[in-house]
Amino acid sequence: MGGSVLALVHGVRPEWRESVLGSLLPAFTDRGFEAVIRDVVDGSLPDASGFDLVCVTGSPDSAFDTTLPWIGPELEYLSATITQQVPVLGVCFGAQILARALGGSVAPSTRPEHGFTTVSTTRPDLVEAGPWMQFHRDTITVTDVAEVIAVNDAGVQAYVSGPHLGVQFHPEITSDCFSGWREGFTSARSGSDDGKVDTRALAAEIDAAAVDAAARCDRLVEGFLEHAGIGHPVG
């Protein structure tokens, strides 16, 4: 029997849901995992215990925004997932809301990041120095149930807690993924062309970095599976 990964997206139009997974999708499917994509904003989610792992992806919204009706239910869902000992990989917003589910906090960053950066890492076997794509305005604080394993001048960039891994950056970035961020999100905060980020230049950087970025994402997924003790499915 093959394995499966539940990929959670946040307010993404159906035609863009695979796109926003970027290179995470082939990293999982090439290893024999079936990817099941569900949008948190749509409501009820399947029991996480039926999956080998849960991958929580990005959002233009903030994990501390209690005006969003789906934030509370997602926190409860992730808390239950943690209790069920189902490994979670959190990416950007996903890392932020996972940190909250683990008792940490998220706040607006004094140093928003947009573009490729490197990080200092104590676990290069799991999280390399990069360069990694950044696109966020918030920052993570973890409690003592988590270990920070990567940082830069903007703050926490990666942490582990048991089998779980949260990364503030976007290992999944591809040109199609970047288009998905701009075209696929339904949030009022979606759309990156706000005049503060040169999205045309950034799109060119993403395109130029595509091969190396996909390879780094693939290694990150392999490292996460090893860290979480998840073998590759057979058949």
The catalytic residue positions are 92, 170, 172
Tokens at residue 150, please? Answer: 């990567």
Q: What is the pairing mode between strands 53-56 and 3-9?
A: parallel
3-state class (DSSP) for residue 117 = strand
The SS3 of residue 5 is strand
Mention every residue, 6+ apart, whose C-beta is less than 8 A from residue 143. Answer: 102, 103, 104
Note if the bond before 131 is cis, omega within 30 degrees.
Answer: yes
How far is Cα 143 from Cα 207, in angstroms, rounded to an integer?
Answer: 37
Nearest residue to 23 via CA among 232, 206, 228? 206
Burial of residue 183 (CB within 10 Å: 0-12, 13-18, 19+) is: middle
Residue corresponding to tokens 């591809």: 174
Residue of 168, 142, 164 whose CA lies nearest to 153: 168
Phi/psi-derived region of residue 225, left when phi > 0, alpha when psi is between -120 and 50, beta in every other case: alpha
